[in-house]
Structure 1
Amino acid sequence: MNSLQAKTPGQLVREAMEAKGWGERDLAFAIGTAPGPINQILHDRRSISLAMARALGAALDRPAEEFARAQAEYDVQRADGPDPLVSSRSRILSRYPLREMVKRGWIDPDHRPGTLEEQVCQFFGVRSLDEVPHLNHSAKKTDYSDIPPAQLAWLFRVRQIALEMHPPTYSEAKLRDAVEAFKDMRGDPESVRRVPRFLNEAGVRYVVSEGLPSALIDGVCFWLDPKAPVIGMSIRFDRIDNFWFVLRHECAHVLHGHGKDQAILDEDIEANSMSPTSEEERVANTDAAEFCVPSEQMRSFYLRKNPYFSESDVIAFSKRMSVHPGLAVGQLQRMAKRYDLLRKHLVRIRSHLAGSMMMDGWGDVVPVGR
């Protein structure tokens, strides 16, 4: 029997003693301790400390690490097994911002029935963790394969909230009427309070949920069924120009029937508005830009005034277009790539919107499934 075959620290020590022809008392004498502790070590009733490992190594002419390693391996083998859910929680955490999802109240194992793992499955609408997108490492491509996990978690949160809503049946005509009505709201930031009501009356489920850190998500359009469109927004940039551009962009997706087969997630819309990634995005960008400030007039103003855009000129132009100056400023900043231009007109609107709907995030949690 060699040291590699020793099953316990005691067996390893006994083997080394026998190789020297020693008994327990001999080893105890060599080390300078009583026979009792040595007897306990030999019967694995006493652990080998690091100091004892060095003493044994010196007395028995063996590397001290050999005894220390044998003890460590033996302790691991005897230790109670971990909670079987540890590995599943690790799987989730390795792909999804799980702690942030718990912090946001999307998953709440302390106040909702079911374990954390069961709640994750419920959140994604599946029966087991193997069915959660991005947790199944098989080669099979899913509908969500190209969506980063943090964005996908946000999408499913929007879906979770949308399922709790019960607006009337979707009407394309009413949504078009709502978009026309929105034009009269572009000049007054407080008017965004009316947006949720118009969308609800058109049969559109409108969800505002704060995005997860680094997700860069602005909006989403998808359908729960052929008569139940959903518009989700993160209000990642709390600015009047971004709000109307993203809202009109998502309305365009709904009106054109986009997103029925697979959700359309709009990431970093402002950065991508000049170079759309698909025909659907090109159409939605065009409709949104035309809504914020008619493109022909915007281009004409830009060419006449570039590179000197005075505040008085911008305000006068915005008044003629019947829009808030922030909408014109937002367009000018992108066209001129001057993001410091007249920033004070990019007023915030989230607080106005919060007065007419429950928003998920920013310290609030929309209750679902309770």
Structure 2
Amino acid sequence: MARDFQFRLSKYYKSLLRNITMALIVIILGLVFYGDYILYKIPGNLTLTLYSYTFFGMIIVTMVLYLLRETKPDEENYGSAFIFLKMGLGILWLVDGILQLQPEMPYVFLPYVIIPMMGSTSGAIYNIVNFGVNIWSLHPVIFNAMAAVTQLFIGIGLLIKLNKTGNVLVLMVSAAWSLIIWIFGEGFGGIFQAGSSFLSGVPGSALVYFIISIYLLLVIVGLELKWVIPVFMTTVFLISLILQILPASQFWSGYSLSRIPYNLIFLYQPQFLSDSFLYFTNTFIYYDFYWNLFFSIYFASCAITWLYRPFYAALLTIPITLFSWWVGQDFGIISGYGTDPNSGMPLFIICMFILIFATHSKNYFPLYFLREKSSSKMQ
């Protein structure tokens, strides 16, 4: 009965949800590019060069995907969960690829995104990220086009119907590219940066992409380890809890907590967003201890619940994820030089995946899996 209800519900709303999603994406991306052309004066020849490289790259992508197409795909055999998660990841990569083609991106990405992020790192992390900066600086236009083409290849490949070999190839590229971005583009998701928090994007969107890619890849090869996602979410909130309570982070006093929304106030965006960031900046300043206590308890609760009851954990995670996506991440792409929706949206997709498809499966309960594994060994 539950399966029939889920199928009818999905079939009834599928067209409406798809149209609404695509309309929102088009509107938001249109506003982002409109703002780019107003704020930045990029020489036309550089923009033409960027789009020329991208055009030729997309010709290659089209040829590869055409060879890997499948007229009778067997994706339905993997179930609705597989298709939902695969489509969600595909949309994220497609949006990322389009955002990478913002005309100013080759020359503002390093000085305004990567280098400021490097300022709060040191030692080995700094050297690793700096290596990527030096490589990118050799020819930023070419590397930006390559990044965009790679992300568009992954996004389109996940959204269209490919054979098994094609799906495996696209997901392997997705996993590999996610790690590259997480290391060189996000500095390990900010985990080792001073003042980083779940609110500001820890553990990094690319790491979430990586976990989703690996999970989908395991499903295709017949190793559907459903407990992987709850264990990952538990780890995320444990790390977030540690970062939130460490005295070195200065979230209990001082201005570290208020700096998260404060850094978003003066970006190019609708005024009501700036006003909301100003409000939370002030309330974080005056009530920093109580806010940090609330966040710490919330993260601890999420970490524990993801181990015992992923369904309820997803319900608990959605509010703090959406709050962080708004107050700490400015929805990722609304303003500034964002090249992805940040960690809020992929984490939200994971929560929806658990809520819709994992409600009746004990295989999604990490502790159940460990007990079963232990009992089988004893036998």
TM over 0.5: no
Q: Identify, as 1 or 2, the structure richer in strand.
A: 1
Q: Identify, as 1 or 2, the structure richer in helix.
A: 2
Larger Rg: 1
Of structures 1 and 2, the one with the larger relative CO (CA 8 A, separation 6+) is: 2
- Normalised by the length of structure 1, the TM-score is 0.30
